[in-house]
Amino acid sequence: MSGLKCSGCGGSIRYHGIPNGVQYTVFPLKNWEKIISTVYDPNNERIHEEWKVPGPYLYRADTIWEDFEEDYFEVWVCPYCGTIAVFDDSKIHVKSVYTPANENIAVDKRAEKFVVFSDYDWEKIEDSLIPVSEIPNKFKSSYYAMANSNYVWLFHSQSKSDCFKVYKRIVIAAE
């Protein structure tokens, strides 16, 4: 079991390794598109681009961890106040923290785009071997996000018009 003290409310955030709505896996959109468009066979072995049968398939999550470890990061969300803790590449240290913003901040159209999976949704992916052509129907991300150095905007779809939550970066002592 892992845990940390929330920088927003001071509450205790605990993750037990099983889905509990705390941990989220985040892929920059360009990295997720690379992952889901790579060709694989049913045994999760990379196959030659010219071979069309079987595949293309999505890697199982345990293979994504190994083969694409530089292409994603993890965040924890405080179950009490909604503060987001973003982990560094070591997945041990928090590199930045975002708290829910009270003001309505316009979306920065130049901000980087992300695909976000809750631990509940990611568990479904872990046990699946889904053809890439079926991913849009079977693997809905939990959220889409856009972020710059000061804010994170969350969306239910890739449309910039359905922003439902804005977070503001706060400075933490470790920085």
- Is 53 within a domain? yes
**Could you tell me if residue 55 is inside a domain?**
yes
Q: Which domain holds residue 110?
A: 2-170
Q: Tens digits of per-residue pLDDT, 26-68?
A: 999 998 888 776 665 555 455 555 555 555 555 555 567 777 7
How many distinct structural domains can be found in the chain? 1
Sort 96 into a burial class: Cβ within 10 Å, 0-12 / 13-18 / 19+.
buried
For tokens 């240290």, what's the residue?
93
Which residue in the block uniquely carries the two structure tokens 């079926």? 134
Answer whether residue 175 is part of any domain.
no
Q: How far apart are CA 50 and CA 163, in angstroms?
A: 40
Exposed / middle / buried, residue 153 (Cβ in 10 Å: 0-12, 13-18, 19+):
buried
- Write down the pTM of the prediction: 0.81
In a domain, 125, yes or no: yes
Question: Amino acid identity of 42?
Answer: P
pLDDT in tens, 108-136: 999 999 999 998 888 777 666 665 556 55
